[in-house]
Structure 1
Amino acid sequence: MKIIELKGQTALLTGLNNISVIVGRNGAGKSRFLRDIESTIGQAAEFHIRYVSPERAGSFKRDGNVMTNMSNDANWIRNTRSKNQVNDFKSTSAMLFRDAETNYLRRLEEDPSIRDDHSRTFRNDRLSKINRLLTNISLEKSLSDYEFRSLVDDAVISPDQISSGESEAVALAAEILYFFDTLDAKKMNVLLLDEPDVHLHPDLQARLGKLIIGMLDEFADQIDRVAVCISTHSTPLISSLADSDYVSIGTKSFGVETVELKPASTELRKAAPFFGHPLSLALSQDAPLILEGEDDERVWQQAARTSQGRIRIFPVLAGSVNQQGELETFCGDFLSTLYDDPVGFSLRDGDGVIDEPLEHQLPIRRFRLRCYAIENALLTDQCLAVMGKTWKDFVAAAAQWGRTNATHRDIASVQQLIASPNRLRHTKVKNIRQLICAILECGKPWEVVVGQAIGALTSEDLDNGNMLVEYLDPTMLRDVVFRDAG
Structure 2
Amino acid sequence: MKVQELRGATAHLIGLNNINVIMGRNGAGKSRLLRDIEESSSRQEQDFYAHYVSPERAGTFKRDGNVLTQINNSPGWLRQVRSANQANNFKAASATLFREAETLYLRRLAGTPEIRMDPTRNFEADRLSKINRLLTNISLEMGSTDFEFRSLFDGKILNSDQISSGESEAVALASEILYFFDTIDPAKFNVLLLDEPDVHLHPDLQGRLGKLIISMLDEFKEHADSIAICIATHSSPLICSLADSKYVSIGTKNFTVDSIKLAPASEELRKVAPFFGHPLSLSLNQDAALILEGEDDERVWQQAARTSRGRIKVFPVLACSVDQQTELEKFCLGILNTLYDEPVAFSLRDGDGVVNEPLEHNLPLKRYRLHCYAIENTLLSDPCLSVMKTTWDEFVAAAKVWAKNDPNHRDVDLIKELIVDKDRFRHKKIKKIRQLVCSISNCKKPWEVVVGQAIGNLNKEDLSNNNMLVYFLGNDMVEDIIFRNSE
Relative to the length of structure 2, the TM-score reads 0.99
1:468-479 matched pairs, under 5 angstroms: 468-479=469-480
SS in 1 for 2:178: helix
Measured in 1, the distance between the counterparts of 2:410 and 2:205 equals 34
Aligned partners of 1:42 and 1:50 also within 8 Å? no
Superposed CA RMSD: 0.8
Q: For residues 160-216 of structure 1, give each alpha carbon's deviation from its aligned partner in whole angstroms, at most 9, with x where no partner exists.
A: 121111111000000000000111011111100000000000000000000000000
Measured in 1, the distance between the counterparts of 2:443 and 2:366 equals 35
1:408 corresponds to which residue?
A: 409
Aligned partners of 1:351 and 1:371 also within 8 Å? yes
Measured in 2, the distance between the counterparts of 1:25 and 1:465 equals 55
Which of 154-163 and 19-28 deviates more? 154-163
2:371 corresponds to which residue?
A: 370
Measured in 2, the distance between the counterparts of 1:63 and 1:43 equals 28
Aligned partners of 1:289 and 1:344 also within 8 Å? yes
1:28 corresponds to which residue?
A: 28
1:6 corresponds to which residue?
A: 6
1:436 corresponds to which residue?
A: 437
Measured in 2, the distance between the counterparts of 1:465 and 1:142 equals 42
Aligned partners of 2:193 and 2:229 also within 8 Å? yes
Measured in 2, the distance between the counterparts of 1:404 and 1:464 equals 38
Question: Is 1:465 the counterpart of 2:466 in the alignment?
Answer: yes
1:379 corresponds to which residue?
A: 380
**Cα displacement (A) at 1:22:** 0.3
SS in 2 for 1:464: coil
Counterpart AA for 1:7: R
**Cα displacement (A) at 1:146:** 0.9
SS in 2 for 1:184: coil
Counterpart AA for 2:211: K
1:398 corresponds to which residue?
A: 399
Q: For residues 344-401 of structure 1, give each alpha carbon's deviation from its aligned partner in whole angstroms, at most 9, with x where no partner exists.
A: 0000000000000001111110000000000000000110000000111111111111
1:256-405 matched pairs, under 5 angstroms: 256-405=257-406
**Cα displacement (A) at 1:43:** 3.4
**Cα displacement (A) at 1:127:** 0.5
2:41 corresponds to which residue?
A: 41
Which of 396-405 and 473-482 deviates more? 396-405
SS in 2 for 1:414: helix
Which of 419-428 and 206-215 deviates more? 419-428
Q: For residues 207-242 of structure 1, give each alpha carbon's deviation from its aligned partner in whole angstroms, at most 9, with x where no partner exists.
A: 000000000001111111111110000000001001
Q: For residues 58-80 of structure 1, give each alpha carbon's deviation from its aligned partner in whole angstroms, at most 9, with x where no partner exists.
A: 10001011011001100111111
Measured in 1, the distance between the counterparts of 2:395 and 2:126 equals 27
SS in 2 for 1:85: coil
Consecutive aligned runs of 4 or more in structure 1 exceeding 6 Å deviation: none
Aligned partners of 2:10 and 2:36 also within 8 Å? yes
Counterpart AA for 1:211: L
**Cα displacement (A) at 1:464:** 2.0
Question: Is 1:72 the counterpart of 2:67 in the alignment?
Answer: no
**Cα displacement (A) at 1:274:** 1.5
Aligned partners of 1:357 and 1:367 also within 8 Å? yes
Counterpart AA for 2:22: I
1:118-133 matched pairs, under 5 angstroms: 118-133=119-134
Measured in 1, the distance between the counterparts of 2:260 and 2:221 equals 26
Counterpart AA for 1:447: E
Measured in 2, the distance between the counterparts of 1:455 and 1:273 equals 23
Aligned partners of 1:96 and 1:175 also within 8 Å? yes
SS in 2 for 1:49: strand
Measured in 2, the distance between the counterparts of 1:43 and 1:142 equals 39
Counterpart AA for 1:427: K
1:198 corresponds to which residue?
A: 199
Aligned partners of 1:189 and 1:225 also within 8 Å? yes
Aligned partners of 2:244 and 2:270 also within 8 Å? yes
Question: Is 1:134 the counterpart of 2:125 in the alignment?
Answer: no
2:99 corresponds to which residue?
A: 98
Measured in 1, the distance between the counterparts of 2:386 and 2:43 equals 56
1:61 corresponds to which residue?
A: 62
Number of aligned positions between the proteins: 486
**Cα displacement (A) at 1:336:** 1.3
1:96-175 matched pairs, under 5 angstroms: 96-175=97-176
Measured in 2, the distance between the counterparts of 1:416 and 1:246 equals 42
**Cα displacement (A) at 1:119:** 1.0
Counterpart AA for 1:191: L
Aligned partners of 2:203 and 2:279 also within 8 Å? no
SS in 2 for 1:190: strand
Aligned partners of 2:283 and 2:340 also within 8 Å? no
Aligned partners of 1:14 and 1:261 also within 8 Å? yes
SS in 2 for 1:48: strand
Measured in 2, the distance between the counterparts of 1:416 and 1:200 equals 43
Which of 408-417 and 169-178 deviates more? 408-417
2:17 corresponds to which residue?
A: 17
1:252 corresponds to which residue?
A: 253
**Cα displacement (A) at 1:332:** 1.3
Which of 41-50 and 318-327 deviates more? 41-50
Measured in 2, the distance between the counterparts of 1:275 and 1:42 equals 38
**Cα displacement (A) at 1:406:** 1.1
2:229 corresponds to which residue?
A: 228
Measured in 1, the distance between the counterparts of 2:152 and 2:330 equals 38
SS in 1 for 2:464: helix
Question: Identity over aligned residues, as a percent?
Answer: 66
Aligned partners of 1:299 and 1:451 also within 8 Å? yes
SS in 1 for 2:127: helix
Counterpart AA for 1:259: I
